[in-house]
Structure 1
Amino acid sequence: MSLSSRLRAWAAGLRRDWKRHIRSLALFAGVLLAVQLWQTRDVAGGPLPGAALDAPLAVLAGGGVRQSSLRAEIAALQAAHPGRNIGLYVWADWCPICKTIQGTVNGLTQDHPVITVAMQSGPPEKVSRYMASRGLAWHTVVDPQSAIPGALGFGAVPAFAVVTPTGELRWPTVGLTSGWGLRARLWLAR
């Protein structure tokens, strides 16, 4: 059987079974949506909640370490980028999926204001060394006790959400996400 006849047979099968393929795709999309909704079920939408966001933590930015809170860092980014949504990315150095999407997050930081939270990754010096070894120049709050993800309702990493200019948390996601998916969330939260 020649290649062209195989391709014709394959195309005929697709035409004949297109409804079954559409149903399979719809089922797959439904399962993905259900898993995503379940993973983000505890994420608090609306205004940023919790005193944990006001706790002083180490912040890695511009090659230095200083003390600040996540809420203060978000306010500073909002002042520097008025009217723009801010990406909030929660990660850990031990997370294999976080390592997989580091390039995606790096690309996102080139176009959008993003603040990251390094949870359960050790003291600031260790996180700084890790970031330097991976070439990551992220604006990062170091949260060794995971108080921030807990206050926001994230139970796993990687996690991403959008902080709107009015300070609301929107469009959360947990797990592997594409660059297009992250950018779409930032755009949809307008």
Structure 2
Amino acid sequence: MPKKRWQRLLLEASLILAVILGAQYWQTRGLPEGVAPPLVGVLTDGSPARVGAGDTATLVAFWSTWCPVCKAEEGNIVSVAKDHRVISVAMQSGDAATVSKHLKEREIDLPALVDADGRHAANWRVRGVPTHFVVDGAGNIRFRVVGYATTWGLKARLWWAENFPA
């Protein structure tokens, strides 16, 4: 392939990467960094939910029953939960009975922290769903992802948070 063609391909790839990184930066602006905000409550299965120092790396996934993108990625979150700690937060999706019914209907075997009034979402400055945070074992937010997230992308971020302390 001629040198000019390689230069053009490299330039185009660089521009695409710049657009992707710029969009990611724009989407995550204003989301918390550093020490994770408190997230304490009871999951739909009755178990306690909390994020903080002393825990293993955790994926905190904000979603809603009415969100089509959340429905498209729910299998990814369930797959991640098989190997990693996940706290699923059902934002503005009704009460515990409504959220539990939704999870059962969708055959999702993953309890959720019900955030009917959006209090937890506001505390984490979540403006839209889905929004994901990877919190390391020391309670620090290591990664923030807004929008559709792949299984391998989430698992890679969790692996990094577990193996490379901040």
TM-score (norm 1): 0.76
Q: Does 1:19 align with 2:7?
A: yes
Q: Count residues in correspondence.
A: 162
Counterparts of 1:141-152 in structure 2, within 5 Å, are: 141-152=113-124
Alignment match, 1:3: none
Q: Does 1:59 align with 2:38?
A: no
AA in 2 matched with 1:148: H
Out of 139, 156, 166, the residue aligned to residue 184 of structure 1 is: 156
- Retained in 1: the 8 A contact 2:53–2:138? no
Alignment match, 1:74: 50
Counterparts of 1:93-104 in structure 2, within 5 Å, are: 93-104=65-76
Mapped partners of 1:126, 1:20: distance in 2:
53
Counterparts of 1:1-190 in structure 2, within 5 Å, are: 17-49=5-37, 53-54=39-40, 56=41, 59-61=43-45, 66=46, 73-74=49-50, 84-190=56-162
TM-score (norm 2): 0.86
C-alpha displacement at 1:104, in angstroms?
0.8
RMSD (CA atoms):
2.3
AA in 1 matched with 2:34: G
- Retained in 2: the 8 A contact 1:40–1:153? no
Mapped partners of 1:24, 1:74: distance in 2:
44
Q: Which runs of 5+ in 2 are unaligned?
A: none
AA in 2 matched with 1:160: H
Name the % identity: 32
Q: Which runs of 5+ in 1 are unaligned?
A: 1-11
Structure richer in helix, relative to its length: 1
Larger radius of gyration: 1
AA in 2 matched with 1:59: L
Mapped partners of 1:163, 1:187: distance in 2:
11
C-alpha displacement at 1:135, in angstroms?
0.8
Ranges of 4+ aligned residues in structure 1 off by more than 2 Å: 15-19
Mapped partners of 2:12, 2:149: distance in 1:
21
C-alpha displacement at 1:142, in angstroms?
0.4
Mapped partners of 1:170, 1:150: distance in 2:
19
Moved more, 88-97 or 150-159: 150-159
